[in-house]
Structure 1
Amino acid sequence: MAPYEALYGRKCRSPVCWMKLNERKMIGPELIQKTEDTFSNRQKSYADLKRRDIEYSVGDKVFLKVSPWKEILRFGRKGKLSSHFIGPYEIIERVGPVAYRLALPPKLQKIHDVFHVSMLRRYR
């Protein structure tokens, strides 16, 4: 005897019975997947509106984005008032599809010289 049957004195109607009695349409995994795909495509289209492909060539000058909280470089100002970009530095080579190697000065030898394109800004 099932706990439901012991408590209520009758058998529990399972989702299989619902389809037979037409009481309620069972929400299946297909409907959930379809709804999820719809919203995923909508979110992707909104995100792609602001996305842009950024490419630099060897020899271009770029600014390097630094976090003021990581204390890589301080110019007398502290915290959120310090500069967010340092440079300009020259691009030496393209390491991968979205990574570039920069010619950094000797005072920045502590940090790695390869950076993602999101951390670079074109020098005009």
Structure 2
Amino acid sequence: MVGSRGYHWWNLHITTVFRPPLTAKVLAKIRDRTRTAQSRKKSYANHRRRDLEFSVRDHVFIRVAPMKGVMRFGKKRKLAPRFIGPFEIVDRVGALAYRVALTPNLDGVHNVFHVSMLRKYISNQSHVLSLEPLQLSPHLTYEERTIRILDRQERRLRNKSIPMVKVRRQNHSDEEATWEAEADIRTRYSELFGKS
């Protein structure tokens, strides 16, 4: 038999029978659990909250979120930077946001950031690097040229050996030299083998 609202009488009966009664004891228990969860959440948020305030001309790092499978700033996944910068603060926007002077390669990024996305940069003389001028392409890339062979060795496999060379690249120090297959380097930079 169908009721006036389109419900069958047995659906109403089953719902009424199996729903536990909301007694004062049950309501108190639900209220206590809700308060405990809210308190835990609030204490965690307060523990992690830091009152940050910056001034105009301060320098800050901007937090970036790495995405799986996406190349960010030339690095992938674990090696992707968590912060980029430093950038100068241009002005304050409201109570919790700042406008930052971004570099031209980030011109597609909105330049106003919430304070939680920023970290203060403390200047240090050791952070100043002396770089040789780079010839950049319009895509902000440059060709790294191998300029010197520093060492040689044979890499032994089960049934063959591969001649390897340790090469130094332009704009890098000797400590940053890498081992490459001699055949590849000989193909691309044959002029280096007369000098070494």
The TM-score range, normalised by the shorter chain, is: 0.5 to 0.7
One-letter amino acid of the structure 1 residue matched with residue 117 of structure 2: M
2:75 pairs with 1:81: no
Q: After superposition, where does 1:1-124 map in structure 2 within 5 Å?
A: 26-69=24-67, 71=71, 73-75=72-74, 77-124=75-122
CA distance in 1, matches of 2:104, 2:111: 11
Partner of 1:20: none
Q: Give 1:26 shift.
A: 5.0
Where 1:62 maps in the other structure, the secondary structure is: strand
**Greater percentage in helix:** 1
The alpha carbon displacement at 1:31 in A equals 4.5
TM-score where L is the length of structure 2: 0.44
Unaligned stretches of 5+ residues in structure 2: 1-8, 11-16, 123-196
Letter paired with 1:95: V
SS in 2 for 1:57: coil
Higher relative contact order (CA 8 A, sep 6+): 1
Q: Residue type of the partner of 1:52?
A: R
CA–CA separation in structure 1 for the residues paired with 2:104 and 2:51: 31
Amino acid at match of 1:84: R
Which TM-score applies when normalising by structure 1?
A: 0.66
Stretches of structure 1 that go unaligned for 5 or more consecutive residues are 4-11, 16-24
What fraction of aligned residue pairs are identical, expressed as a percent? 47
Greater Rg over alpha carbons, structure: 2
Q: Which has the higher strand share?
A: 2
